[in-house]
Structure 1
């Protein structure tokens, strides 16, 4: 079963920071959705 990990990074370029922030917020939602699906089918 995949394990959720976390990391922290500092981005000095504001535009790059904003783009990465938007992406990671969307990614977080998809990872939660995928984790829920995996948990429903995990045999243990």
Structure 2
């Protein structure tokens, strides 16, 4: 489902974020948030 994405954990200020990253690193970021009890899988079609 997310074959072209890299999974990462970003830590900062007492919180850890799980992210999936794809595309050029110099491109503008696009942040897609989900709510509980959903997961990042809800964005697979975007």
Same fold (TM over 0.5): no
Structure with higher strand content: 2
| Greater RCO (Cα-Cα under 8 Å, separation 6 or more) | 1
Q: Which has the larger radius of gyration?
A: 1
